[in-house]
Structure 1
């Protein structure tokens, strides 16, 4: 019963954590390319009418809203899958501890992957001509093309990073079932410098 309640707790927390991650992530990407939001994301999320550029009061707040809306469902999905792996643990405490760590591993992996996407987008993709991005939404009035492409690449890589991180989190969880962390073990003592 406690493991089931732990599962419910994590499943309820996961979309909130995922949404907060997305809100913070989008603050970073907005800093790099405001146009990605004012000419694409705000319109895509129907926060502004279609037009050449969206002008919203307090755009950082709306960037956070876009980030939350774009990732809460990913957090929910990842949390649910990690909980299923967590059910293999002997106790609810171990399940909670290991599953939350697996979630952190997933987020860290996603972050590292999206930074790689940002670098790849800026150093490689942004040097391609506009017509190479016919599957992307590129506004005609874009001013900072390179940063727009870099942020688009970062967003694309973040979903791949979430999937890779999920695999890493599952592996971690299953590994911990075989080699559980034992809480309460004493820390090794450092040699005393006093004589």
Structure 2
């Protein structure tokens, strides 16, 4: 019963963590390229800054909406696999460690995406749609690359997290068990 409750709890926590990551990430990328939001993301999500008290709260909402679902997917997969672990505490720790790795890989991929965008794509050009009236084309492309690489990082994080949970299961399966004789001695 405790493992089932842990499974359900993680299905709530993981999307919240992913959404928080998205909100923070979009605050940073808004700082780099406000036009990415004002000329693209606001329209994509159908949101107006006036509805939420300005640009920054709207950007945070967009970040949350763009990422919570990945947290649900990752949380579901991690939690499902973690049901193979012996107890709820071990399950919770393994999933949260895996989620931490996934978030770290997502952030690292975003940084790499930013570098790739700024150092290569800005000069090489992109096949994506770009607004005709961009003032800072380089910043728009850089932030687009950060966002694209972030999703790739999320996928890599999913794989890394799965491996972490499987290694934890394997380590527990091969660890010597303490017998009741040892405990009562």
Fold match (TM-score > 0.5): yes
CA distance in 2: counterparts of 1:33 and 1:120, whole angstroms = 16
Structure with higher helix content: 2
The list of structure 1 runs, each at least 4 consecutive aligned residues, that deviate by more than 6 angstroms after superposition, is: none
- Do 1:40 and 1:137's aligned partners in 2 also have CA atoms closer than 8 Å? no
For the residues of structure 1 that align with 2:44 and 2:18, how far apart are their CA atoms? 20
> SS of 1:142's equivalent?
coil
For residues 43-98 of structure 1, give each alpha carbon's deviation from its aligned partner in whole angstroms, at most 9, with x where no partner exists. 111114xxxxx888520000000000101101100100010121111111100111
- Correspondence 1:75 to 2:46: no
Q: Which residue of 2 aligns with 1:112?
A: 108
2:183 maps to which residue?
none
1:14 and 1:99 mapped to 2: Cα distance?
A: 9
CA distance in structure 1 between the aligned counterparts of 2:170 and 2:129, rounded to whole angstroms? 47
CA distance in 2, matches of 1:110, 1:121: 16
Per-residue deviation at 1:128? 2.3
Specify every segment of 5 or more residues in structure 1 that has no aligned partner in the other structure, as ranges.
49-53, 183-195
Which residue in 2 is equivalent to 1:175? 167
Paired residues for 1:65-144 under 5 Å: 65-129=61-125, 132-133=126-127, 136-144=128-136
Unmatched runs of 5 consecutive residues or more in structure 2: 176-185
After TM superposition, the score normalised by the length of structure 2 is 0.89
2:35: which partner in 1? 35
The answer to whether the 8 Å contact 1:3/1:95 transfers is yes
- The aligned residue for residue 145 of structure 1 is 137
Which residue is 1:3 aligned to?
Answer: 3
Aligned CA RMSD, in angstroms, stands at 1.6
Q: Deviation of residue 138 (structure 1)?
A: 0.6
- Check whether the contact 1:38–1:55 (CA below 8 A) recurs between aligned residues: no
Q: Secondary structure at the match of 2:155?
A: helix
